[in-house]
Amino acid sequence: MKLKQLILLTIFFLNVINTFAQTHTFAMADESFLLDGKPFQMISGEMHYPRVPREAWRARMKMAKAMGLNVIGTYVFWNLHEPQKGLFDFTGNNDVAEFVRIAQQEGLWVILRPSPYVCAEWEFGGYPYWLQNEKGLVVRSKEATYLKEYESYIKQIGKQLAPLQINHGGNILMVQIENEYGSYGSDKEYLAINQKLFKEAGFDGLLYTCDPAPDLVKGYLPGLLPAVNGLDNPAKVKKIIKDNHEGKGPYYIAEWYPAWFDWWGTKHHTVPAKDYAGHLDSVLAAGISINMYMFHGGTTRAFMNGANYKDETPYEPQISSYDYDAPLDEAGNATPKFMKFREVIQKYLPSDVHLPAVPAAKPAISIPSIKLTQAVNLLATLPVPKENLTPLTFEDLHQDYGFVLYKTTIQGGKSGVLKLKDLRDYAIVMVNGKKAGTLDRRLNQDSLTLTLPAGKVTLEILVENLGRINFGKYLLQNKKGITEKVLFGGIELNQWKMYSLPFNNLSKIIFNNAAVNTQSPVIRKGVFSLNSVGDTYLNLSNWGKGVVWVNGHNLGRYWNIGPQQTVYLPAEWLKKGNNEIVILELLKPGQNQLSGISKPILSQLL
């Protein structure tokens, strides 16, 4: 045999040996999970790739290892990956496959939750807005149009992630179908279709379902592992899983809540570490696998927050911070809860296994004064409108998020009640370019008394989508904007112009140094210079309501009603030298200065 052939053959066999060396198995026994045939207890933490800057994924993984986690759990978000029908995006912060690969490089397994419904305090529960434009489509059902779109989506996800399953040499241990379906429905045929679609997409490993304990019977699919959410009494966890899994385990708490999320106008939720460390201890002592929701929340940036709504409670849009009072704070630093949980987890590791040192807290900086020296009135930046007899919704305009300005002309010289029938969700009403009042769906406000000047009057209504409902039966009633009609003095107003303002591209906004009208919303721009970078928190407690961008990154919403008064600005998105900031301010257009502080303000209500 020639030397060249021998070398090639040797390389081939080395590659084969290497492949087998990296291949693992993951299976279920009656009482435990088996990794390579040996009992394996998953100690997992939930962390969502879009809520953390891509540049920081690896650092957060190292923190997970330092707390003692051996698994990372994450949802996959349909509306990120297919923002418009048929157009898929797996780039930048949407590169979920790279997120999984980094976890493997850092010695972490992954629990994958493509679902495709995720809840997650995320816009529309992860569904893309355009599903509502598909005639007859009914989410979470056997309706044909929905299943067709679902199949298209999950096959694209399969192309990205199925090769990363453990049975293909990757690090994905299990894959979840649907998500807390029992809280929504009980159609086992629909769940079986989910299973079939996942398998056809290449997810041929271990599949499971998860549901809150009261809904588990409705939401599990016989034959798959039924994981339980929100329960941490070991005896009860084991009983409910056994009762629905042929009298056996293994046992998995798919969502264990060490704290909770926040919504606008309500106090910041916190839970002391001591109140949960004992629960974690008892679960691990019982050999039960667990996934902390959340280990690290991060930030729900741009317009991607969801909202809750029930018949007995008002509309509750969630804030941009997803700090969650989690073991790892919004910026990725260890909290007292992190340290307490680490102590508990260390007890259940083999005696010869020692956790890595906890990385030091990231440096945080203060920025004494940031001045926004350029500005333009929002009403001076309008695109070409779409005209219609009656108001059009966001969906009618094929617009996903942001704002729509509705404009019409009416005869003045009179007073009356302006009524926006089924407003979704927040409106600034302007008469001849000046703010006349606001309407807030959270407060069940839909009417405003106006006194109009004489002559022809321009009526403008700027409507903000504050986040589509992400949980419950109202998933099917999630259109945004003025969704029915506008009345003044009991008479319907017609002949509307609609201006789409999604704010997904700021490059076309032309700023100037001249004074602006401070009686209507303003967009301001400034530059601040840094000698060194670090995490900071933009303090907007003196501002009103709006959105912030820095160096092109949409950092999320702010609103002085609280509890969140700061917007987290990660070091990864700053640079030495000049940095650009843009702010859309809706309520206090005269503001033009702010600061960056070293700690967040997440618990201050107006």
The answer to whether residue 6 scores a pLDDT higher than 80 is no
pTM of the model: 0.95
Last residue of a domain, one of 479, 501, 523: 501
Indicate whether 70 belongs to any domain: yes
Same domain, residue pair 466 and 573: no
Measured at the CA of 173, the angle between CA 190 and CA 66, to 5 degrees, comes to: 130
Handedness of CA 144, 146, 147, 153 (dihedral sign): positive
- Residue 146 · residue 135 · CB < 8 Å: no
180 assigned to active site = yes
Average pLDDT over residues 527-550: 98
The answer to whether residue 15 scores a pLDDT higher than 50 is no
Same domain, residue pair 332 and 235: yes
Residue 20: which pLDDT band, with cuts at 50, 70 and 90? very low
User: What is the C-alpha separation between 441 and 424, in angstroms, rounded?
Assistant: 7
- The pLDDT of residue 3: 55
Residue 125: which pLDDT band, with cuts at 50, 70 and 90? very high
The answer to whether residue 14 scores a pLDDT higher than 70 is no
The answer to whether residue 147 scores a pLDDT higher than 80 is yes
Indicate whether 580 belongs to any domain: yes
Retrieve residue 80's tokens: 């990120």
Same domain, residue pair 108 and 246: yes
The answer to whether residue 11 scores a pLDDT higher than 80 is no
Residue 12: which pLDDT band, with cuts at 50, 70 and 90? very low
Catalytic residue among 178, 180, 395, 460: 180
The answer to whether residue 16 scores a pLDDT higher than 80 is no
- Residue 153 · residue 118 · CB < 8 Å: no
pLDDT digits (tens, 9 = 90+) for 277-289: 999 999 999 999 9
* Helices and strands per DSSP (H, E), number in the chain: 10, 34
Indicate whether 606 belongs to any domain: no
Same domain, residue pair 481 and 568: no
The torsion angle over the Cα atoms of residues 99, 105, 107 and 109, rounded to 10 degrees, is 40
Residue 18: which pLDDT band, with cuts at 50, 70 and 90? very low
User: What is the C-alpha separation between 442 and 444, in angstroms, rounded?
Assistant: 6
DSSP characters over 180-221: SGGGT---HHHHHHHHHHHHHTT--SEEEEEEEGGGHHHH--
Retrieve residue 558's tokens: 């702010």
pLDDT digits (tens, 9 = 90+) for 546-580: 999 999 999 999 999 999 999 999 999 999 999 99
User: What domain count does the chain have?
Assistant: 3
Average pLDDT over residues 357-384: 97
- The pLDDT of residue 312: 78
Same domain, residue pair 62 and 176: yes
Identify the bridge partners of residue 210 per DSSP, sorted by sequence position.
Answer: 227
123 assigned to active site = no
DSSP characters over 254-267: EEE-SS---BTTSP
pLDDT digits (tens, 9 = 90+) for 389-444: 999 999 999 999 999 999 999 999 999 999 999 999 999 999 999 999 999 999 99
SS3 506: coil
Retrieve residue 47's tokens: 């962390």
Residue 17: which pLDDT band, with cuts at 50, 70 and 90? very low
Indicate whether 20 belongs to any domain: no
- Integer angstrom CA distances of residue 269 from 260, 420, 454: 6, 33, 50
Average pLDDT over residues 488-493: 98
- Residue 600 · residue 558 · CB < 8 Å: no
Same domain, residue pair 475 and 516: no
C-alpha neighbours within 13 Å on the C-beta side of residue 558: 31
User: What is the C-alpha separation between 58 and 127, in angstroms, rounded?
Assistant: 27
Same domain, residue pair 103 and 190: yes
Give the CATH number for residue 175: 3.20.20.80
Retrieve residue 487's tokens: 């009345």
Catalytic residue among 255, 330, 395, 460: 255
Residues 6+ apart with CB under 8 A from 593: 369, 370, 371, 372
- The pLDDT of residue 352: 84
Average pLDDT over residues 529-539: 98
Same domain, residue pair 424 and 323: no
Amino acid at 55: E
Tell me which residue range forms the domain holding 537: 367-376+509-597
SS3 28: strand
* Terminal Cα distance for the chain, rounded: 82
Interstrand relation of 522-530 and 553-559 (parallel, antiparallel or unpaired):
unpaired
The total number of residues written for the chain in this structure: 606
Alpha helices in 23-95 (DSSP H): 57-67, 78-81
Indicate whether 200 belongs to any domain: yes
Rg (CA), the chain: 26
Give the CATH number for residue 567: 2.60.120.260
Same domain, residue pair 372 and 426: no
Same domain, residue pair 453 and 549: no
Average pLDDT over residues 218-230: 97
Retrieve residue 360's tokens: 């030091």
Helical (H) or strand (E) element with 436: strand 434-440
The answer to whether residue 525 scores a pLDDT higher than 70 is yes
Residue 10: which pLDDT band, with cuts at 50, 70 and 90? very low
Indicate whether 25 belongs to any domain: no
Q: By percentage, how much of the chain surpasses pLDDT 70?
A: 96
Nearest to 487 by CA among 420, 578, 587: 420
- Identify the weakest region by mean pLDDT among 3-12, 228-237, 272-281, 329-338: 3-12
Indicate whether 22 belongs to any domain: no
The answer to whether residue 605 scores a pLDDT higher than 50 is yes
User: What is the C-alpha separation between 432 and 410, in angstroms, rounded?
Assistant: 11
Last residue of a domain, one of 475, 501, 527: 501
Indicate whether 566 belongs to any domain: yes
Mean pLDDT of the chain: 95
Same domain, residue pair 408 and 466: yes
DSSP characters over 398-416: T--SSEEEEEEEEE-S-EE
pLDDT digits (tens, 9 = 90+) for 70-120: 999 999 999 999 999 999 999 999 999 999 999 999 999 999 999 999 999
- The pLDDT of residue 4: 54
pLDDT digits (tens, 9 = 90+) for 291-326: 999 999 999 999 999 999 988 788 999 999 999 999
- The pLDDT of residue 9: 47
Residues 6+ apart with CB under 8 A from 450: 415, 416, 417, 418, 429, 431, 436, 437, 488
Buried b (16+ CB within 10 A) or exposed e, 281-312: bebbeebbbbbbbbbbbbbbbbbbbbbbbeee
Same domain, residue pair 447 and 538: no
Interstrand relation of 415-420 and 553-559 (parallel, antiparallel or unpaired):
unpaired
The Cα diameter of the chain in Å comes to 101
The torsion angle over the Cα atoms of residues 467, 471, 474 and 478, rounded to 10 degrees, is 30
Please give the backbone phi and psi of residue 471, each rounded to the nearest 5 degrees, phi first.
-150, 140
